[in-house]
Structures are given as structure tokens and as C-alpha cells.
Amino acid sequence: MPLRLQLRDDPAAAASRPVSRKGLLAAMCACVVLVVGMVAAINLAVPMLAASDLHPSASALIWIVDTYVVFFACLVIPGGAAGDRFGRKGVLLAGLALFAVGALLSAVAPNVPFLLAGRAITGIGAAAVLPNTLAVLLHAVPAERKGVTIATWASMTGIGGVVGNVGGGAVLSGGSWRWLFAAAIPLALVLAALVARIAPVSARHDRPLSPVGAALLVGASVALLLGIVEGPEKGWGSPIVVIGFAGAVVLFAVWTFVELKAEHPLLDPRLFRVPALRSACLGMTAIFFGMFALFYVNASFLQYGKGFSVLLTGLGIIPLTVPVILGARHVGKLVRRVGVDATVAIAFVFCGCGLIGLSTNDASTPYPVYAAWLVVTGVGVTLALPTLSAAISGSLPAAQAGVGAGLQATTREFGSALGVAVIGTVLTGQFVAALPADLRAAHDPHTVAQALAAAPGRAPEVISAFVTSTGTALRVIGVSVLVLGALVVLQSRLSRTTK
């Protein structure tokens, strides 16, 4: 059957085809794994990119990771709205096509700006894919299966991170970062063909879009990350950094004003007047802030510090997921026994302390010790995600379930982007400070690859500086997660006492 990207669904055509629920669920879950897995997989390629013929700066490396995540985060709610208006199947197919086009541009990129453009297009495609996979599923399954279907779909966002690390490590073993993007192209096209064949169409709704609101949200997020990312290299008082932070404040303010005045806002800022929703969203952002900060440094630490291959590095993060696999189904029992606030508090203690524990590792630390701290961190993630997800959903009426799902996706991806930006910034500043003074004065390197290229005979000193800076960066993130967790719990308790 030929692939046709229809933005207007044809219910009559859909009715003439039987739909395999299991096949549809598998296809939609595979789409989720693809777009979420790319968020994790790119971190494994950072050392390769740093040493590549693109010669990216330290800030450019962060942007290569974060550009995809920023567009993904900021456009996932507009992506769902577009599906409602133009047809969920059609927008899903368009998203997979954009994902493939962006991956192709990234794979052949001759320079960093070209690669960043490819990453942005891929992120736009991912934002169209994620919400519409769930929308297509919920349209196809009977009411009694919706709960199980949502749970299965949600679990794919966690599995996607594992698949991205393991699968990305396997692909990158071919020796080039370009293979990561090249491998994504046929996967996206095969899934698009499968979706075109088996996915049903659903009725369209005249849900208004807010392109101005979406553009302002993307612009504000990029401006904020610009200020964070460019600080170490350009200087915190440099014009670009000051403009970035000032622009973020102005654009977020304008976005709030526009959404408050809109008759049908894309994301109504008034929702955040609900204290329970506000604290749960902050909690979700904080957990992904810590988790993806870890993903960013883990890849380079295991490759540079411990000499792991890229495949072993991808496998090396698996202990983090063991608690998720074994313990997720028991979280509800703990919540019923000790309450939401206590569960969230325990989650942040485990997550923050796990990150601080990881910061104590150096090149000589046995991997099992490192893995044990990953498990501790994973326990925190396991406790936090379902509890916070339920808190977000429970804070909104049933009629706004779609808004709740969009908020969860947005806070997850925005937290991921922020975590990468912050830890990358701290890592760069500490790495430069930890390098020998003569090497710093002569070459001013900001990445391990730059330092090794400038002084190949001084690799032990360079690696030692990187390992030291990794420990400092992880401690900063760990303490930040603990502080944010305390704020989340305090806000949640206040919301309960004021009811």
C-alpha cells in the first residue's frame, strides 16, 4: 500500500479496514520508543562529535543534544492540537516524515549549523508523533481497555531511554556519529508505512491552534538555554548571555499575556494556580533534570574515564532501569501506605543522593560501585514518575485529560533539556579550571577532544581534569535535585493544608 500523508482523515476509508489492536499498539509503542530513544542515544555520540571534523565547541555540543529536546518539549502540546484539528493519523505520519528528513539532514551535515537545523526538524517531527500515538490508540480501543493501553503506552517513554542507550551504543559501534542519524531514517519510514496501513482515522475537531503561543514558548526556552549554555565560553556578563536571559524573561512574559488573552489558549497559565498541579509539574521537571544530566555526563565519563567502548557505555546505564522494571508495579502500594508527599520525598532523597554518590566515583572506582549508585538513583526515579504522573492527572478534571498528558510530556522534555544545559555548563567551566595552567594558557581548550588534540602527550592530565569536573557537576545536580524535591514536597503539603 503506498504511503500517503493525509492531513484530513477519511473515516469512511478507515471503516472499510479491520484494525488489529495488538498490531496497532505495537506500532504506536515503537513510534514512542523511536522519538524518546533519540533523546538518550545522542548523549553516547558526544565524544565522537567532539573529536569529529565538525570541531564543535563545548557549547555547540550541548546545543546538538538540546535542540531536538527543546523543539520536542515546546511543540508537543501544539502537536496534539494539530492532530485534533487536521487528523491524528495524518499529523502522526507527517511527524514521522519530518523525523526522517531531520535525521537525513543530520546524518549528512557538513557543519554544526546544518546539524542543528536537522536536529530542530527532527524535534518538530517528534512533537507531532508523541501525542498522536496515544490519540490514535485511544480512538481505536474500547473503553474497558483504555486504562491498560495508557499504562502500556506510558511505559514506552521509560523503555525508550533504555533502547536509545543500548541501541545507540550498538549503532555507534560502527565508528561514526553519522550512523546514529542514518539508522533512524529507515526506522521512521518503516513505521510510517506501517502506520499508514493499519492505523484507523478519527473524527477531526475544530480545536483552535495557537501558533503565536507556540513560537513564543520555543523562543523563550531557546533564549533561556542560550544564556545558560554560552556563559562558560562567552562570559556571564557578555552581551549574548545577558540578551539570552533578558529575552527569556520578556518572551515568557509575552507568552503568558498572549495565552491569558486567548479565547482558546494552547496551555492556559491559569492552570498553574492549582498548587498540586504546580508542585507535580515542578517535580516531574526536576526528576528529568537530574536523569538527563546524568545521561549527558555518563556517556563521556564511561568512555573517557573508564575506557569503555560506546556499546559498553550504552549497556552501562542499564542498572538505572532495574528498579523501574522490578519495582514500578509496587509504587501504588507504597503511596497508599505512606501517602503521596512521603513517597515523593523518599523519591527525591534516593535520586539526589544517588547522583551525589555517583559524583564520588573516579577512574579507579570499580564499575559495580558505580552501578550500585545507578540503582539508588533508579529507585528514586521509579518512585517519582508514577506518583507525579498521577498527581498531574488527578489535579485536572477528566475533561482536561489531554492537557494533563501534554503537560507531562512538556515537563519531562523541558527538564531534560535544562538538565543537559546546566550540567554541560558546569562541566565545561570546571573542566577548564581543572586543566594544567600552561595547557590552558597555551590552547584554551573547552572540551576533552580539544585538549587531547592540542596536547596528545598529556592525556592522563586531561582525563583527570575531566573526571574531577564530572564529579563536581554531578554534585551540583544532585544537590539541586534535593533542593527542588524539598520545594515540591513543601508546595504539595501547603496545597493540602490550605484546602
User: How high is the pLDDT of residue 345?
Assistant: 95
Tell which of 165, 180, 208 closes a domain.
208
Q: Are residues 216 and 286 in the same domain?
A: no
The number of folded domains in the chain is 3
Tell which of 250, 265, 280 closes a domain.
265
User: How high is the pLDDT of residue 19?
Assistant: 55
- Of 169, 14, 168, 38, give the one whose Cα is nearest residue 95: 38
Count of C-beta atoms within a 10 Å radius of residue 257? 12
User: How high is the pLDDT of residue 499?
Assistant: 57
User: How many residues in total does the chain contain?
Assistant: 499
Q: Are residues 90 and 227 in the same domain?
A: no
Q: Which three cell numbers stand for residue 244?
A: 539570552
Helices (H), 141-271: 146-172, 178-198, 211-234, 239-261
Domain of residue 243 covers 210-265
User: How high is the pLDDT of residue 457?
Assistant: 85
User: How high is the pLDDT of residue 16?
Assistant: 40
16-65 pLDDT tens trace: 444 567 788 889 999 999 999 998 899 999 999 998 999 998 889 999 99
User: How high is the pLDDT of residue 3?
Assistant: 39
Q: Are residues 220 and 309 in the same domain?
A: no
Q: Are residues 226 and 155 in the same domain?
A: no
Q: Are residues 233 and 202 in the same domain?
A: no
User: How high is the pLDDT of residue 494?
Assistant: 75
Amino acid at 117: A
Q: Are residues 197 and 176 in the same domain?
A: yes
Per the CB < 8 A criterion, the answer to whether 19 and 198 are in contact is: yes
Q: Are residues 115 and 130 in the same domain?
A: yes
Number of helices (H) and strands (E), helices first, in the chain? 20, 0
Q: What is the CATH number of the domain that holds 26?
A: 1.20.1250.20
User: How high is the pLDDT of residue 127?
Assistant: 92
Q: Are residues 373 and 391 in the same domain?
A: yes
Rounded CA-CA distance 315/307 in Å is 14
**What is the helix (H) or strand (E) element at residue 338, kind and residue range?**
helix 331-338
Q: Are residues 20 and 34 in the same domain?
A: yes
Per the CB < 8 A criterion, the answer to whether 238 and 230 are in contact is: yes
Q: Are residues 282 and 233 in the same domain?
A: no
User: How high is the pLDDT of residue 347?
Assistant: 95
Q: Are residues 174 and 44 in the same domain?
A: yes
Tell which of 248, 265, 282 closes a domain.
265
Q: Are residues 296 and 438 in the same domain?
A: yes
Per the CB < 8 A criterion, the answer to whether 398 and 146 are in contact is: no
Point out the residues of the chain with pLDDT beneath 70. Answer: 1-20, 147, 151, 203, 205-208, 232, 397-403, 495-499
Helices (H), 45-111: 46-50, 58-86, 88-107
